[in-house]
Amino acid sequence: MSTRKTLVVAGHGMVGHRFVQAAIERGLTERYDVIVYGEEPREAYDRVALTSYYEVGADALSFLPGGKYEDPRAVVTLNTEVTAIDREAKTVALSDGTTQAYDVLVLATGAAPFVPPVPGKDLKNVFVYRTIEDLQAIEEAAKTAKAGVVIGGGLLGLEAANALHKLEVETHVVELAPRLMAVQVDDAGGATLKRHIEKLGLTVHTGVMTEFIDADKDGVEDGKVSGLKFKDVDEVLPADIVIFSAGIRPRDQLARDCGLEVAERGGILVSPNMQTSDESIYAIGECAAPGGRMYGLVAPGYTMAEVAVDALLEGPGEFLGADMSTKLKLMGVDVASFGDAFATTEGALELVYSDAVAGVYKKLVISEDCTKLLGGILVGDASSYGILRPMVSSGIALPENPEDLILPASRGTAQIGMPDEAQVCSCMNVTKGEICKAIHDEELTDVPAIKQCTKAGTVCGSCTNILKNLLTEEMEKSGKAVDKSICEHFAYSRQELFDLIKIGQLKSFDAVVEAHGTGRGCDICKPAIASILASQFNGHVLDNKTTGALQDTNDAYLANLQINGTYSVVPRIPGGEITPEKLIVIGEVARDFNLYTKITGGQRIDMFGARMEQLPEIWKRLVDAGFESGHAYGKSLRTVKSCVGSEWCRYGVQESVAMAIELELRYRGLRSPHKLKGGVSGCARECAEARGKDFGVIATEKGWNLYVGGNGGAVPAHAQLLAGDLSKEDLLKYLDRFLMYYVRTADRLQRTSTWIDQLDGGLDRVKEIVLHDSLGLGEELENEMARHVDTYFDEWKATIEDPEKVARFVSFINAPGTPDPNISFTEDRGQIRPVTFDEPVSLGSSIPVGAPQ
């Protein structure tokens, strides 16, 4: 007899989805069949990033594309609302007229926008700001609107105002409180924020009450909004759109109707393990009120979801409150609030730094004895948030002059004796002690290495400045000088060397050493300078007079060295498009040389097991068939992945394959500080995974969105939007500038994601330079890319046509025809693979070596 039970989840928002994820991950579906009802017409999506819907579309926001979980024991039904609960029968009534029995019921109904009882709130073109459907309706109305008003100047209200502003509608923000973001910032901080927002072209009205929403006098029967009337103000503010974003209220009516206990100010009362007054019913997220308090942020909701799953697995988890500190960017303005931001602690003192010209406001709240940091507010510059917030939670003693923490000359945490147990990275729960130990034990010398080793700073990045300070402190403790020298032979950073080589037109390593260095070079400066030379002058990587053996062993033989001393061969397949004839050639080459073949994640075919002396012959076969080097061995462009685009896909809005091919052929061979990968998706469904690439292009109805700074690997990064709805001409122009600026200024072996992260100003700085040409480099960067495109040549073809270069491809110089006897293979799944040191050779010894098979 089956002992499986039924668990019903009412609500498929962000928190409901997280509950189901945790239930699957932790094995709760071994005990329960999970049935989820979502009343919206789409699966759970990122409501926090709702405004980005206008840039990326609904599919990109989805947490569950396709509406199905991998575990078939968790099933989602959309467009279906739980309308009533029968606690005695343990059933729920559904909006489609049916009922569903449950053993356990989890309420994740969230919250609803609060709409004050303002006359005219039911007029046409009056909206709330909560769902994708709301945004779609606003977008449609904005097509014929000139002016719009957002009622509510809190976090949600400013997000709504940002959305309206992006739709190119004259935007007004109306707030009853005397300042914006009244819950997070004080009067001075609100005033600073207001100035920032008004500089963007929005109009802010604070301390005013909306008396009524006016209707169109020429068409009253149409019921369309025409303006907004403030109390005690005679004039009506013209408006074609009104958006209510004045807060949220917990959706607890289901609980009230079935007799569950609710909090005095709304929300379903729950115990620390998220259980309601009925032991078979749990509540999580914004509809719940642990300790009588509603939490309107997603992070506490996620914690509640985890606690509820733990409780159902008889675990000890409890929800005992949440840190409501926030750091965000609103319309390009940094805003942060943490701890006791409003000095409610008895005897608390306030330290304030304000720069009206720069638009910066900072406030610290400290204890009466000036020993502890209690909280603070940051507007315009929140870079110290990652330093200050841990001081509150860990109780770190303040320095003798605490004002140094917010003054521009502050050096931050490394100067104030942060204890080893203090949490530096709250996202990944990494302490100062763990970071310092990693720096010392692993001999880490830069921030990217710290991130890779400890994972600190890899999520929100707000602790990056602390990582820099701790690195400096630890290196100074060890007696190491902190400088930017690329190595002992050059007292310059990579960027400085790039400029010196460019200005001096130095075209060989020897010339660079003679002009700016000492000694004979090393395995750090040689490949770095060779890469710079290749970037600027595009010489063959095997030309000893210019670049020599570029980067490492892989570049030295234009192929990737494998575990057993053989090499892989990866021909370029632009955009993943290939003819049957070329497929046949690859198959014949792999067969004739007995190579292991594999289709890569970058839409290419990799062939493994080629001996060094076989490489030129393999390349010749491929080059004769129209292939060229795929640069899988180099710090250069690898691939530009694509979906099938509008030519084949019913969802495609642009021809992604053609675009991917054009981009790959344009940037092939571009030598860079680290490898580069691109992707082009034909619609927002993102089948090419473009936002996981160094540059990603996603089609829109109006053109192309350009994303930069993504990558997979040990420390994955999601690409960020650089510019949207671009024409092909602008796309190429901005991408040319971005890539060449990266090549020119990034550090050696630095991916685009960490390069952007460490730029002063980050992505905003990139936008200034690439989009707005703030440095006046735009034309120069475009010309450099044009020169690269014009001078490109295939390294494989140039190698096999040069006897001097071909001569290096031998295992033994004194016996050119002799293959390396140490290379052996065995067989798995019908293909060769290298033997391990402890297994017998079953195939390798029987394969003739030194010639095609």
Q: Are strands 831-834 and 825-828 parallel, antiparallel or unpaired?
A: antiparallel
Q: Does residue 220 register a pLDDT over 70? A: no
Lowest mean pLDDT: which of 578-592, 622-636, 743-757, 837-851?
837-851
Least confident of 166-170, 534-538, 623-627: 534-538
Average pLDDT, the chain: 85
Which two three-digit tokens encode residue 840?
A: 């017998």
The least confident of 253-267, 597-611, 784-798 is 597-611
**Alpha-carbon span 581 to 691, nearest angstrom:** 32
Q: Rounded to the nearest 5 degrees, what angle is found at the Cα of 753, between the Cα atoms of 752 and 758?
A: 95
Residue 332 has pLDDT above 80, yes or no: no
463 labeled part of a ligand binding site:
no
In this prediction, residue 420 carries a pLDDT of 75
**Is 427 marked as binding a ligand?**
no
What is the DSSP code string of 680-713? EESSTT-TT-GGGSSEEEEEETTEEEEEES-B-S
- Any idea which of 142-151, 192-201, 287-296, 471-480 has the lowest mean pLDDT? 471-480
Does residue 753 carry a pLDDT above 70?
yes
Q: 646 with 657: CB under 8 angstroms?
A: no
Of 334-338, 663-667, 697-701, least confident by mean pLDDT is 334-338
Using CA atoms, how far apart are residues 670 and 507, in angstroms rounded to an integer?
Answer: 17
Torsion sign across C-alpha atoms 205, 211, 213, 215: negative
For 792-815, how does the pLDDT look when each residue is reduced to its tens digit (9 = 90+)? 999 999 999 988 888 888 766 555
Cα dihedral 699, 702, 706, 712, rounded to 10, equals -20
Q: Which domains does the chain have, with CATH numbers?
A: 5-112+250-312 (3.50.50.60), 126-246 (3.50.50.60), 327-411 (3.30.390.30), 419-482 (1.10.10.1100), 494-555 (no CATH), 570-629+799-853 (no CATH), 635-793 (3.30.413.10)
What is the Cα–Cα distance from 593 to 611, expressed in whole angstroms? 9
- Strands, E assignment, 114-245: 126-128, 147-151, 170-175, 203-206, 210-215, 225-230, 236-238, 241-244
Cβ(604)–Cβ(570) under 8 Å?
A: yes
Give the whole-angstrom CA distance, residue 319 versus residue 337: 22
Q: Which amino acid is at 127?
A: F
> What is the spatial distance between Cα 753 and Cα 755, in angstroms, rounded to a whole number?
5
What's the rounded Cα separation, in Å, for the pair 135 and 141? 10
pLDDT, residue 103, reads 96
pLDDT classification of 234: cutoffs 50, 70, 90:
confident
Contact 105, 247 (CB under 8 A): no
Residue type, 393: S
pTM equals: 0.54
Helix residue ranges, H only, 681-837: 728-745, 752-758, 762-770, 778-791, 795-800, 803-806
Residue with tokens 């080793």: 453
Mean pLDDT along residues 596-604: 83
Answer yes or no: is pLDDT of 211 > 60.
yes
Q: Distance (Å, rounded) from C-alpha 833 to C-alpha 595? A: 9
Query: Which pLDDT score, from 0 to 100, does residue 852 have?
Result: 38
Residue whose pair of structure tokens reads 């290096």 in the numeric block: 808
Cα(664)–Cα(840) distance, integer angstroms: 43
Distance CA 280, CA 101 (A): 12
The tokens describing 548, both together, are 């020599």
Distance CA 549, CA 334 (A): 46
Alpha helices of 315-357 — where are they, by DSSP H? none
Q: Quick one: pLDDT at residue 791?
A: 92
